[in-house]
Amino acid sequence: MSVRGVRGAITVDANEEQPILNATTDLLERVVAANGIVPDDICSVFVTVTRDLDATFPARAIRTMPGWELVPLMCALEVPVKGSLEKCIRLMVMINTEKTQQQIEHIYMGRAQALRPDLAKA
């Protein structure tokens, strides 16, 4: 078994609590479904937001998901590079898995597809 990182990113239209929480839940659910992840397989989840998203902590959404109560979570600000994608939530889900790097499915949604067009699926 190996530890692998699964990446994901999504954008929101507004710096408001509910859109941030909904987008975080939507993104994590897609990451989990695409990779067959269960909470017991997770080492930790690292969440970053761009500095224009300060209405809530995205980890609040994850904490309310059934079975995720004990998963270690951490939120931080994304590096504020000039001209970078705005209103973006990024996840790094660290999992214990038998999958190879090539078998991992990273999820990029909304305008965040521009971050990794090589990995984003339409």
Task: Indicate which residues carry an active-site annotation.
Answer: 7, 63, 75, 78, 90, 108, 116
Contact 26, 109 (CB under 8 A): yes
Q: Count Cβ atoms below 10 Å from residue 63 Cβ, excluding itself.
A: 13
Q: Counting Cβ atoms within 10 Å, is residue 46 exposed (0-12), middle (13-18) or buried (19+)?
A: middle
For residue 31, give the nearest of 111, 89, 118 by alpha carbon. Answer: 89
